[in-house]
Amino acid sequence: MKQALLIAMCAVGFSSISNSQGILDKAKTVATVAGFDVKTLTKGITDKLTAKLALSATQVPKVTSAVNTFLQAKSQILPLLKTNKAAYATKQTGLLSNLKTNLATTLAKDQMNKFLGLKPATNDASNILSNLFY
């Protein structure tokens, strides 16, 4: 009797763990399908900034970290685009301000000016840098 109860409890426990993992996998898939895979975007943006700003070997990891931190935070506010665009815009502005502050400690003044000049005129999905500015 005790063994049957123990087996049943284990089965329920494994089922719960399996379902929890499935939910996490689904969330990751939704984020990726939605086009906002933080890891991929971080690499793409850093690669583009490295080329456009002529980043040094010591600057690359710092810029990568700043961009990754920004994108992680942005991924948390993306649902607001559907529910409250004004709140999204306010939070995006704050995140971008923090990113600029972080980059300003790493980039030279001319690099920072070039970075600001890279802002696309509109939110263009074909320009990976739009993920930073919009």
CA–CA separation, 95 vs 84, rounded Å? 17
Clarify whether residues 58 and 110 are in a common domain: yes
Residue type, 43: K
1-47: pLDDT as tens digits: 545 544 555 455 545 444 555 544 444 434 443 568 999 999 999 99
User: What would the two tokens of residue 79 be?
Assistant: 């649902």
Clarify whether residues 17 and 54 are in a common domain: no
Given a contact cutoff of 8 angstroms between Cβ atoms, the answer to whether 133 and 96 are in contact is yes
Clarify whether residues 15 and 68 are in a common domain: no
Clarify whether residues 46 and 27 are in a common domain: no
Distances (CA, A) of 39 to 22, 23, 45: 20, 20, 10
The predicted structure's pLDDT at residue 1: 54
Clarify whether residues 19 and 43 are in a common domain: no
Query: Which residue range forms the structural domain that includes residue 81?
Result: 36-133
Phi, psi angles (nearest 5°) of residue 98: -65, -40
Q: How many domains does the chain have?
A: 2
The predicted structure's pLDDT at residue 34: 55
82-133: pLDDT as tens digits: 999 999 999 999 999 999 999 999 999 999 999 999 999 999 999 999 999 9
**Average of per-residue pLDDT across 63-73:** 98
Clarify whether residues 63 and 88 are in a common domain: yes
